[in-house]
Amino acid sequence: MLEDLPADAGAALAYCGVGIALMALGFVMVDILTPGNLRRQIWIERNRNAALLVSANLLGVGMIVATAIWTSQGAIGTALASSALYGVIGLAAMALAFLLLDLVTPGEFRGVVAEKELHPGVWVSAALHIAVAAVVAAGLT
């Protein structure tokens, strides 16, 4: 039991690395898909729309990676690779769903994220991110 501790700690650190990298990629994805500088909108301008959308994205990525880790079997290398792969699939699915939502809503929805007032459409988009992530996570089980 105690002899497994270094290997288990190494695996936990590796999974953390994959999860953090995917969450950073998710942040960049939202930044690319929305107008303006996302970091500035959230931390300087305190834009609630941007914060809500990014939060939903981060929660979604976390759900996917956690499920991929939970359901992984085999060697750590294979498990890490599958976690990363499913994370990327989830990010791509979330981006596609976001763009499709933008297509079917009146006006340019992506611009709503930069508005100062909290917009109900951002709640819909946030829910969409989490729902897509749940679908990807369920596909792992």
Quick: pLDDT tens for 54-110.
999 999 999 998 998 888 877 888 889 988 999 999 999 999 999 999 899 887 778
pLDDT value of position 76: 85
Report how far residue 53's alpha carbon sits from residue 90's, in angstroms, rounded to the nearest whole number: 15
Query: Do the Cβ atoms of 101 and 109 come closer than 8 Å?
Result: yes
pLDDT at 19: 92
Calpha distance 65→23 (Å, rounded): 10
pLDDT digits (tens, 9 = 90+) for 37-49: 999 999 999 999 9
Q: Residue 129 — pLDDT band, cuts 50, 70, 90?
A: very high
